[in-house]
Amino acid sequence: MTDIKEKEGRTLYEQGIIAILGCEMLWGVLPIYWKTLEPISSFMIILYRVVLIALLCYIVTAVRLGVKNVFQPMFANRRAFIAFVFAGMIITFNWSLYIWAVNANYVIQTAMGYYLEPLVICIFGILIFKEKANVWKKIALGFAMAGIIIMIIGYKEFPSIAVGLAFSFAIYAAIKKTVLIHPLQSMLYEVILIAPFFLAAVLYYEIHGMGALSQATTLKYVLLMFAGVCTCAPLGLFSFAANKVPLFTVGMLSYISPTISLILGVYMFNEPFNAIKLAAFAIIWVGLAFFTHGEILDNRRDKRLDRESD
């Protein structure tokens, strides 16, 4: 019986690893998809994306809960409702900044943003949730700041896209920490209040010949219809993996997607990657190495405490 349980456990773990790897690879190559939609404007892509996400998430939630129960958890209490509203505003900003940045040839900065993301989330954990950071994580935060300073000194401008993506997602993660429900269900609640306004805008621009239909070919428009799937599919894989793989493992593998995006930015989209950017990334990578070491130590400590409590 024990052998059967161990085998089932290994199978679930392997499925989780495959899911998280698939998730990170999809997130990493998504710039190719958004770039493929050109010449459709980033503004129209953002409008369609929110509407299609709302539609897809509604279908999934209705299948899971039943049509009558789709929105019941959203209005369960005032605190949760407010959390969904603010989370929707923040993640919409994050999506909008990301799509604009990709189509404006700032893929490398988006990669930097998602390298910085776990470090910023760590800062939020310390400041908001009073979590303790070991010395290695504190050193990592110092290296992250140094990388940003190098960008500021080298280019005499603030890497606003990278920092904006990292901080907006960290704020989103902090809000999400207060509400624990299925990710696609949560996403439905986050976008459903703004989706009607975005749908009205889509209809207005299409009717007046200024929408996606007038900006691109039929093939590009058909590709645009997959914007919801491209957003929800990796999130679904992430949700699946989170239940079968330790969050420590999930966190360590989260560096795959920005690495893929960085490679795409340099070698596929031919964005400039000079010595200043290389130095900034190198310092951030060193910081991530310290951060990873800190995570490993925390993970070992938690396992030891669990064994002692048993």
Q: Name the residue with higher pLDDT: 274 or 246.
A: 274
Report percent pLDDT > 70 for the chain. 95
User: Is the pLDDT score of 7 beyond 60?
Assistant: no
Q: Where are the alpha helices (DSSP H) in the chain?
A: 2-36, 42-65, 78-103, 107-127, 135-155, 160-176, 183-191, 195-207, 212-215, 218-224, 227-242, 247-253, 256-263, 275-309
Model confidence pLDDT, tens digit, residues 35-59: 999 999 999 999 999 999 999 999 9
Distance CA 74, CA 221 (A): 32
The number of C-alpha atoms within 13 Å of 222 and in the hemisphere containing its C-beta is 3
pLDDT computed for residue 229 by the predictor: 94
Cβ-contact 227, 48 below 8 angstroms: yes
Cβ-contact 166, 114 below 8 angstroms: yes
pLDDT computed for residue 96 by the predictor: 93
Model confidence pLDDT, tens digit, residues 161-177: 999 999 998 888 888 87
User: 42-65 vs 195-207: helix axis angle to the nearest 10?
Assistant: 130
pLDDT computed for residue 247 by the predictor: 62
Distance CA 61, CA 80 (A): 17
What's the whole-number average pLDDT of the chain? 87
User: Is the pLDDT score of 211 beyond 90?
Assistant: yes
pLDDT computed for residue 310 by the predictor: 62
Question: Nearest CA to 38 among 266, 204, 221?
Answer: 221
Q: Please tell me the pTM assigned to this model.
A: 0.86
User: 42-65 vs 183-191: helix axis angle to the nearest 10?
Assistant: 130
Domain boundaries, the chain: 41-227+260-309
Distance CA 1, CA 251 (A): 32
